Structure formats: structure tokens, C-alpha cells
Structure 1
Amino acid sequence: MLERGSPTVRRLRLGQELRRLRERRALSGEDVATRLKWSASKVSRIENAKTMPRRSDVEALAELYEVEETRRQELLDLHRDATRRGWWEDYSESLSPELITLLGLEAEATSALNWEPQVVPGLLQTEDYAREVTRAMQAVMRIPPGELRDLVKARMARQDLLRGVDPLRLWVVLDESVLLRRFGGATVMREQLERLIEWSRMPNIRVQVLPLSGLSPINTGSFLHLSFPEFHDMVYLEALHESRFVENEKLVYDYEIAFSQLQAEAFGVDASRELIESVIAERWR
């Protein structure tokens, strides 16, 4: 079982707190770099969590910002937690930097909203379905066998976040076409949709289907909206050759509104489960 909590979020929080302390002292990045004899880019990389500062760096910044002892210890505790190893690092050679960041964020998120118009979300995929989805990408990009295995293993490991004492709360809206689009054979699809029904019965997971007979969905690709207990909400967007995170508060809220619209137009949980069962019976038996 994966341990909840994430060095990725701790690193982001550390950078955020150091930036706030600098701004409260009315200092620019150039000012800090001059006083500590650093480069301005080093200050920027630390504040934007692009590099891991040494403990001595955090101490030097706390000294410069005249941080009182209790707050200084909180910063050092954040630094200690940020240097810990995440489970996803076992697969780091096969995962993109953006996916590694996503896995780190998921590990501390308390809830997630996921819109998927093309495939079953990775958090709910069976191993066979995940393998076939990844293999399908080989039509447009080369994925070595070892990397493919790691991608599937990492996807399966993510699912431990949905189990345990304090699981991730996940709300998914799927387009009905996801139930009909084949990856692998009928057996793979049947087992995937049966697993989807099983997941939907868990108290922390809500699955809805947006019917093809309904209104046209909002014109956007898939997105994952993550909420955290001590950090601002973020949205993860994934494209063919790149992924990115949305952190701007207004834009993140726009995605939250978009999800609300999608779930309002989708079938309810029970009706969605009945639709999935009918698709299994009619198409994948």
C-alpha cells in the first residue's frame, strides 16, 4: 500500500514559502542573489521547485529573511520531507518529467475530478487494458518493451491511492464512446468495464457516463483537477507529445466549472452503471 504524502508537494510548498518570505522583505531575486553571492537563476529555480536546495541554502535564506525560530524549523522540516524518495522514482527512467510530477502530486491530493472523452482513466484501468492503451501509442512513437512494462507497472501502482484508510476521492465523467472504443480484444474490454463497475461501487469513487444521445460535451480534451489540503488546486493536461500543469487560480476554477457542467449533463451514478452493464452485454460478450 502506498504511503500518502508526497515529497513533490513538499518541494512546491517549500519554494512557495521561500518566495513569500522574500516578497514580505521587499527583496527581488537579484537582491537575494547579490547578498548570498548566488546567481539569480538559482533563487528562481529554488522558488519554482525546479531544483532541490541544500539544507544550508534554506538556512541561509531563513537568516537573510530574519525568520523566527519556529518558522525556520517548519521550513527545515519541509526541506527534510521534500528530499525523501517517492515510490514513482523506481520508474523514473521510463516516465516523463511531467508524469513524475503528476504521480507526486496525486500522492498528496485529497480529491480529483477527471473528465475523459477517449479512454478509461489510468487510475481505473486494468493491467491488460493499460498495456493495450500504451501499445496503441506505438503507432506514432517508439516505446521500448522495458519502458512499456514500467509505464504499466506505474499505472497499476497509482491505484493504491484509491484504497486504504485515507483514500483519494475520485469523481470521473466518461464519454459514452470510451465504453465502445476497443483496446485489445473483447475479453480485455469486458474485464475493463466490469472492473469499472467494481470501482464505481467503492465509497470514495464516483463514475458517471456522458451519453452520446445527450448534448454535445464541452469542447476540451481530458483533464484531471487535483485538490490538496495545504496547497492550491492544480489541473493536469496531457497531449500527444507533451503535458502541462495549470496553476493560475482563475483558469483552474474554469476547469472546475467545466467539470460541474459535464457531470450535470451525464447520467447519474446508478444509471451510468446500468449503461456500462448493457454495453458489456451487447458489445463485449
Structure 2
Amino acid sequence: MAGRRTPTIRLRRLAAELRRLRVAAQLTVEAVTEATGLDQSSLYRIERAQNKPQRRTVTTLLQLYQVDRERQATLLGWLKESGQTGWFQVYEPYLPEQYQAYVAFEHEAERLKNYESLFVPGLLQTAEYAHAVIADADAGRSLKADDVQRRVDVRMQRQSVLSRPVPMQLHAVVDEAAIRRTVGGAEVMRAQLTHLVKASSLPNVRLQVVPFAAGAHPGMPGSFVVMDFADPFDAPLVYVDGIAGDAFLETEEDVARFARTFDLIAQAALSETQSRKLIQEAARAA
């Protein structure tokens, strides 16, 4: 299923900066289109990273916004780099557009906070566990065997962010339900829990479990991810996934709200040492 190509993080960065510069110049969309001849729909798509603009269009906008030459060179560099995609490009025809976007942003993220209520986080899944989750939990989507395997392959490849030269800093918090629920059978689950214990010893991975004994807690409404990026021009993102669909939230208010919620969930969770002990006990019982 081919769809519109997902914007790269560089194109998203350029779009956000062009929008910020227009607002800083106190120019409306109508004023820009009148001054440049660019139609409103095109400017709308450029500022939302839905279209990759031509170099002359970006130059015209930057001159209108009275951006200095050095800054112009930086932004035009972003435009040049905006066509660069990652390893996941080969999978784009087979993945939903929102998931493509998630993989692209995750690939660029410096820090990721992930709360999961029912599943082991994707970055910490084994291939067998991932296959069971995708094939069974997503059964309503009627995925073909080849599509299931492609998604498993993508999930495994995504995990390279944890072992790259400058690894992602991952803080994962899971509800005890994700640890206790047998997914894929006892052997698969036991291997998954053993893998979690091993992964939790990595210096860039923090793993906590919210025990059943904690009772009601702020994470009960559902799972979410908060992404932070190294470049200050890349604003944090929140990703929420559910049966009704998935969505990205980018406003400062939404990001701050989910970041606070994550901190509250982490406070309700066991310490990393206690969490590792609980997972080890669950593995022995599986």
C-alpha cells in the first residue's frame, strides 16, 4: 500500500522554522502569498512539512523574512538534507503513514520516555514476542503473513537506536500486566522476560514496573511515548497509539502534560532494582 512519503526530521525542522520566521516577521499567510505569488495552499503544505519546497521558494521566503545570509545558508542546508531517509525507506510501501512517521522520528530521537500498559515496549521486544503481538493483537487488521514478518523486521531494526555510537537514552515504564500476560506461549514469554532483564542492565536503558499493588495510577488511560531530540530546533513530540488510531501531539501544553504524567507514573513504579527482581520472578514462574 503506497502512500505519501513521510517527511524526514530535517524537512519537519525546516517547516517549523519557516513557520516561526513568518510569525516573527508579523506576516500573515495572505501577506506572504501576496508578496511572493506563492498560493496559500502551497505555503500551508510547506509549513507543515507536507511538501518539500524548491530551493528558490525557500530563498524567496527567507529574504522576505529578512533572514541573514549565515542563517539562510543553514536553512538551505536543511533543505538539501531533507531528502535523506533512513534504513526504513525500503519498508515504506508496506507501512501505515503514521507508523512511518513514528519510525522516522524515533530514529532521530536522543531521548525517549515510553509508558506501556499492556505490552513490552517495542524497543525491548524479542522477535518471537513481537511476532505474537503483531499477528494476534493486530488480528483485526487482517495482516497477511508477509506483512506481519515485515513489521517484525522493522521492529527489530528499530532497536538499533539502543546500540548506535551515541545510543538513545530510553526510560521505559510498564504496568505489571505487561509482565504477567503470557504472549506467544510460556516459552516465548520466558525468553522475553529474560531479555528484559538483560536489556535493563544497559547503561542507556532505565526500566521500571508499576506493580499491581500500586492500585490506580496516572498511566491507566493508555500508553504513550515522549520523544526529545538533540537539536534545539527539533521540538519534543508525543505519540499516542490506540484502537481508535494513533496521533502525534506537538504543542508545548500537550508535551508538558504527558511529560508530567510520565514522571508521576515513574514515581508510582518500583525502583529499577525492584523492577528487575519482579521480572526475574515472573520469568521463573512463566
Same fold per TM (> 0.5)? yes
2:3 maps to: none
Q: Is the 8 A contact 1:7 1:86 kept in 2?
A: no
1:53 maps to: 53
1: CA distance, partners of 2:51 / 2:164:
32
Q: CA deviation at 1:158?
A: 0.6
- In structure 2, stretches of 5+ residues that fail to align are 1-5
2:259 maps to: 256
Q: Is the 8 A contact 1:168 1:204 kept in 2?
A: yes
Q: Is the 8 A contact 1:126 1:192 kept in 2?
A: yes
Q: Is the 8 A contact 1:162 1:169 kept in 2?
A: yes
Matched, 1:28 2:36: no
Q: TM-score, normalised by structure 1?
A: 0.93
1:281 maps to: 284
User: Matched residue of 1:93: which SS?
Assistant: helix
2: CA distance, partners of 1:8 / 1:139:
30
Q: Is the 8 A contact 1:176 1:211 kept in 2?
A: yes
Q: CA deviation at 1:220?
A: 2.0
**Is the alpha carbon distance of 1:214 and 1:24 closer, same or farther for their aligned partners in structure 2, counting shifts above 3 Å?**
closer
Q: 1:243 is aligned with what amino acid?
A: D
Q: Is the 8 A contact 1:123 1:155 kept in 2?
A: yes
Q: 1:271 is aligned with what amino acid?
A: Q
Q: Is the 8 A contact 1:215 1:265 kept in 2?
A: no
Q: TM-score, normalised by structure 2?
A: 0.93
Q: 2:142 is aligned with what amino acid?
A: R
1:207 maps to: 207
Larger displacement relative to structure 2 (33-42 or 254-263) = 33-42
2: CA distance, partners of 1:138 / 1:275:
28
Q: CA deviation at 1:7?
A: 7.0
Q: CA deviation at 1:168?
A: 0.4
1:222 maps to: 223
Q: 1:248 is aligned with what amino acid?
A: T
Q: CA deviation at 1:65?
A: 2.4
CA displacement, residues 172-209 of structure 1 (integer Å, 9 cap, x when unaligned)? 11111111112211111011111111110000001111
2: CA distance, partners of 1:260 / 1:22:
35
Which consecutive aligned stretches of 4+ in structure 1 deviate over 6 angstroms post-superposition? none
Q: 2:84 is aligned with what amino acid?
A: R
User: Matched residue of 1:113: which SS?
Assistant: strand
User: Matched residue of 1:243: which SS?
Assistant: strand
Q: How does 1:1-285 map to 2 (within 5 A)?
A: 8-218=8-218, 219-229=220-230, 230=232, 231-282=234-285, 284=286
Q: CA deviation at 1:162?
A: 0.4
1:3 maps to: none
Q: 1:47 is aligned with what amino acid?
A: E
User: Matched residue of 2:273: which SS?
Assistant: helix
Q: Is the 8 A contact 2:124 2:199 kept in 1?
A: yes
User: Matched residue of 1:107: which SS?
Assistant: helix
Aligned length, in residue pairs: 278
User: Matched residue of 2:71: which SS?
Assistant: helix
Q: CA deviation at 1:10?
A: 1.3
Q: Is the 8 A contact 1:7 1:81 kept in 2?
A: no
2: CA distance, partners of 1:239 / 1:138:
11
2: CA distance, partners of 1:267 / 1:178:
14
Q: CA deviation at 1:12?
A: 1.5
Q: What is the aligned-residue RMSD (CA, Å)?
A: 1.6
Larger displacement relative to structure 2 (193-202 or 81-90) = 81-90
Q: Is the 8 A contact 2:116 2:223 kept in 1?
A: yes
1: CA distance, partners of 2:17 / 2:138:
42
2: CA distance, partners of 1:185 / 1:215:
27
- In structure 1, stretches of 5+ residues that fail to align are 1-5
